[in-house]
Amino acid sequence: MCSSGKYLAFLSLLGSIVSDPGTTNRVVLLDTTTVLGELDWKTYPVNGWDAITEMDEQNRPIHTFQVCHVMEPNQNNWLRSGWIQRQAAQRVYVELRFTLRDCNSIPWVSGTCKETFNLFYLQTEEPLSAATRFRPTDYAKVDTIAADESFTQTDLGDRVLRLNTEVREVGPVTRRGFYLAFQDVGACIALVSVKVFYKRCPSTVRNLAVFPDTVPHTDSSSLVEVRGACVENAEERDTPKLYCGADGDWLVPLGRCVCSIGHAEMDGDCRACKPGSFKAYSGNTECSKCPSHSSSHDQAATICHCDKGFYRAIKDSSTVACTRPPSAPRNLVSLINDTALFLQWTPPIDTGGREDITYNVLCQRCDGRDGDSGVTQCEPCEPDLRFIPRPLSLTATSVAILDFATHVNYTFHVEAANGVSGLGVSPRSLANVTVNTNQAGPALVGVVRKDWASQNSIALSWPEAEKLPSEIVDYEVKYFEKEQEQLSYSSTRTKNPSVVVTGLRPSTVYVFHVRVRTAAGYTAYSPNYEFATAAEDPDISDQGQVLVVVTASVGGFSLLVILTLFLLITGRCQGYIKARMKSEEKRRTRFRAGHVPFSGIKTYVDPDTYEDPTQAVEEFAKEIDPSYICIERVIGAGEFGEVCSGRLHIPGRMDIAVAIKTLKGGYVEQQRRDFLREASIMGQFDNPNIIRLEGVVTRSRPVMIVVEYMENGALDSFLRARDGQFTVLQLVGMMRGIAVGMTYLSDMGYIHRDLAARNILVDENLVCKVSDFGMSRVLEDDTEAAYTATGGKIPIRWTAPEAIAYGKFSSVSDVWSYGIVMWEVMSYGERPYWEMSNQDVILSIDEGYRLPAPMGCPVTLHQLMLHCWQKESNQRPRFNTVLSFLDKLIINPSSLLTLVNDLQSYPDSPDDMPDYPLFISIGDWLDSIKMSQYKNNFLAAGYTTLDSISTMSLDDIRRIGICLIGHQRRILSSIQSLRLQLHHIQQSGFQV
Ligand code: ACK
Output the CA 643–ligand 1 centroid distance in Å: 7
Section 626-641 average pLDDT = 88
The amino acid sitting at 737 is: G
- pLDDT, greater one: 503 or 330: 330
Q: Does residue 37 have a known ligand-binding role?
A: no
744 Cα distance to chain centroid: 35
Section 151-166 average pLDDT = 67
Please give the Cα distance from 832 to 766 (Å, whole number): 22
The protein residue with its alpha carbon nearest to ligand 1, atom 7, reads 636
The protein residue with its alpha carbon nearest to ligand 1, atom 12, reads 713
pLDDT at 545: 28
Output the CA 792–ligand 1 centroid distance in Å: 26
The protein residue with its alpha carbon nearest to ligand 1, atom 4, reads 713
Among candidates 162, 166, 146, which has minimal Cα distance to 154?
162
Please give the Cα distance from 775 to 674 (Å, whole number): 10
Express each pLDDT in 65-108 by its tens digit. Answer: 999 999 888 899 999 999 999 999 988 999 999 998 888 888 77
The amino acid sitting at 179 is: Y
Q: Interior CA angle at 908 toward 902 and 912, to 5°?
A: 115
245 pLDDT more than 50 = yes
Q: Does residue 641 have a known ligand-binding role?
A: yes
pLDDT at 935: 85
Closest atom, ligand 1, to C-alpha of 691: 17
Section 664-693 average pLDDT = 91
297 pLDDT more than 70 = yes
Please give the Cα distance from 672 to 703 (Å, whole number): 8
Using CA atoms, how far residue 949 sits from 342, 971, 975, in Å, is 20, 10, 7
Please give the Cα distance from 761 to 158 (Å, whole number): 111
Output the CA 642–ligand 1 centroid distance in Å: 10
Closest atom, ligand 1, to C-alpha of 635: 8
Output the CA 780–ligand 1 centroid distance in Å: 18
Q: Does residue 661 have a known ligand-binding role?
A: yes
pLDDT at 18: 27
pLDDT at 260: 96
327 pLDDT tier (thresholds 50, 70, 90) = very high
Which of 629, 635, 656, 824 maximizes ligand 1 atoms within 8 Å of its Cβ, making it the mutation to test the pocket? 635
563 pLDDT more than 50 = no
Hey, CA dihedral for 206, 210, 211, 213, is it positive or negative?
A: positive
The protein residue with its alpha carbon nearest to ligand 1, atom 8, reads 636
Output the CA 721–ligand 1 centroid distance in Å: 15
Express each pLDDT in 809-818 by its tens digit. Answer: 999 999 999 9
CB 457 within 8 A of CB 533: yes
Which of 678, 706, 710, 771 maximizes ligand 1 atoms within 8 Å of its Cβ, making it the mutation to test the pocket? 710
683 pLDDT tier (thresholds 50, 70, 90) = very high
CB 322 within 8 A of CB 336: no
The residues lining ligand 1, judged by C-beta closer than 6 Å to any ligand atom, are 635-636, 638, 643, 659, 691, 707, 709-710, 713-714, 717, 761
473 pLDDT more than 70 = yes
Section 596-624 average pLDDT = 77
Please give the Cα distance from 413 to 430 (Å, whole number): 6
Section 191-216 average pLDDT = 94
901 pLDDT more than 70 = no
The protein residue with its alpha carbon nearest to ligand 1, atom 1, reads 714
Section 837-851 average pLDDT = 87
Among candidates 626, 625, 624, 665, which has minimal Cα distance to 642?
665
137 Cα distance to chain centroid: 84
Hey, CA dihedral for 317, 319, 325, 327, is it positive or negative?
A: negative
Which of 664, 692, 705, 761 maximizes ligand 1 atoms within 8 Å of its Cβ, making it the mutation to test the pocket? 761
Q: Interior CA angle at 979 toward 977 and 982, to 5°?
A: 110
Express each pLDDT in 408-420 by its tens digit. Answer: 788 999 999 999 9
Output the CA 713–ligand 1 centroid distance in Å: 5
Please give the Cα distance from 710 to 768 (Å, whole number): 9
Express each pLDDT in 740-790 by its tens digit. Answer: 999 999 999 999 999 999 999 999 999 999 999 875 444 555 667 666 555
Q: Does residue 309 have a known ligand-binding role?
A: no
Q: Does residue 637 have a known ligand-binding role?
A: yes
Active-site position among 542, 754, 763, 956: 754
Closest atom, ligand 1, to C-alpha of 707: 17
pLDDT at 961: 87
The protein residue with its alpha carbon nearest to ligand 1, atom 20, reads 713
The protein residue with its alpha carbon nearest to ligand 1, atom 15, reads 659
Output the CA 545–ligand 1 centroid distance in Å: 24
Output the CA 890–ligand 1 centroid distance in Å: 29
Q: Does residue 640 have a known ligand-binding role?
A: yes
pLDDT at 624: 95
pLDDT at 695: 96
Q: Does residue 643 have a known ligand-binding role?
A: yes
Express each pLDDT in 254-283 by its tens digit. Answer: 889 999 999 999 988 999 999 999 999 999
8 Cα distance to chain centroid: 81
Non-local (6+) Cβ contacts of 575 within 8 A are none
558 pLDDT more than 70 = no
CB 197 within 8 A of CB 92: yes
552 pLDDT more than 80 = no
pLDDT at 948: 78
Q: Does residue 635 have a known ligand-binding role?
A: yes
Q: Does residue 830 have a known ligand-binding role?
A: no
Q: What percent of the chain has pLDDT over 70?
A: 80
> Residue 558's CB: how many other CB atoms inside 10 A?
10
Section 42-58 average pLDDT = 90
The protein residue with its alpha carbon nearest to ligand 1, atom 14, reads 659
The protein residue with its alpha carbon nearest to ligand 1, atom 19, reads 710
Q: Interior CA angle at 33 toward 31 and 39, to 5°?
A: 75
Which of 643, 708, 717, 720 maximizes ligand 1 atoms within 8 Å of its Cβ, making it the mutation to test the pocket? 643
- pLDDT, greater one: 77 or 379: 77
583 pLDDT tier (thresholds 50, 70, 90) = very low
Output the CA 644–ligand 1 centroid distance in Å: 8
- pLDDT, greater one: 248 or 755: 755
CB 310 within 8 A of CB 322: yes
Q: What is the value of pTM for the model shown?
A: 0.41
Closest atom, ligand 1, to C-alpha of 758: 1
Tell me the CB-side half-sphere exposure of residue 719, using CA atoms within 13 A: 27
CB 244 within 8 A of CB 250: yes
CB 208 within 8 A of CB 270: yes
Q: Among 818-822, 832-836, 907-911, 938-942, which stretch is predicted with the lowest mean pLDDT?
A: 907-911
pLDDT at 329: 94
Using CA atoms, how far residue 576 sits from 479, 584, 623, 787, 957, in Å, is 38, 12, 10, 41, 58
User: Is 451 a catalytic site residue?
Assistant: no
Output the CA 818–ligand 1 centroid distance in Å: 20
Express each pLDDT in 208-229 by its tens digit. Answer: 999 999 999 877 777 899 999 9
pLDDT at 375: 73
Output the CA 755–ligand 1 centroid distance in Å: 15
Closest atom, ligand 1, to C-alpha of 637: 9
Q: Among 144-153, 507-516, 840-849, which stretch is predicted with the lowest mean pLDDT?
A: 144-153
Mean pLDDT for the chain overall:
81
Closest atom, ligand 1, to C-alpha of 716: 1
